[in-house]
Amino acid sequence: MTFDLFYILDLLGTASFAISGALFAMHKKMDSFGVFILAFVTAVGGGTLRDILIDRNPVGWMQNLTYVYVIFISVIFAIAFRKKIGYLSKSLFLFDTIGLGIFTIIGTEIGIQQDLHPIISIALGMLSATFGGVIRDTLANEIPLIFHKEIYATACIIGAIAFLVLEYFHIPSNINYVLTTCIVIAIRLIAVKFELKLPTFY
């Protein structure tokens, strides 16, 4: 059950970020190739960086083409239903937030599986969740969202810490995955709704 849920969450996170990237590219009025490329890097960019850092070769999507198929199907879905999904900005935010929550926990769990220090596992969770978006924004000539004053990476860090705490108290893995994913999503939603921001220095 643990492995199955972990894998399903990984695929769901991939699909969410792929749709997010595709919507972002369409918002930027890119052609079909640009839409696919931005969807692809958003979906696998963070996980690729994570796997390279921990010397996990080959990286996940290269040894399991299911991830590529999921990205392709997600792009087709985003293009076909772009007018029915709702406002692009709201849909982009929703799918990006779902992917953020899922990949935070995926990256943190992989760090634990590699017997890395908890702080490093938290960092891996944050990198997995945010750096696909960093690459996407950079390619689109935007300042990456992680560098804004919004509560973004901070939500990942809090969720990863919660995951490690629940892991320490031997909470069943399937419950831990879902609960802490929801924590990240909830923090992000609350932060945006109430316009909570980190302090800036001038």
Q: What is the pLDDT of residue 1?
A: 39
Neighbours of 192 (CB within 10 A): 15
Q: pTM of this prediction?
A: 0.93
Q: How many CA atoms lie within 13 A of 145 on its CB side?
A: 22
DSSP annotation of 145 reads: G
Q: What is the pLDDT of residue 88?
A: 64
141: left (phi over 0), alpha (psi -120 to 50) or beta: left
CA torsion 62-185-130-136 (nearest 10°) is 80
Positions in the chain whose pLDDT score sits under 70: 1-3, 86-88, 202
- pLDDT tens across 67-105, in order? 999 999 999 999 999 887 756 678 889 999 999 999 999
Token duo for residue 94: 């929703």
Q: At a CB cut-off of 8 Å and minimum separation 6, what does 125 contact?
A: 103, 104, 105, 106, 107, 108, 111, 156, 157, 159, 160, 163
Q: What is the pLDDT of residue 141?
A: 94
What residues does each domain of the chain span?
2-193
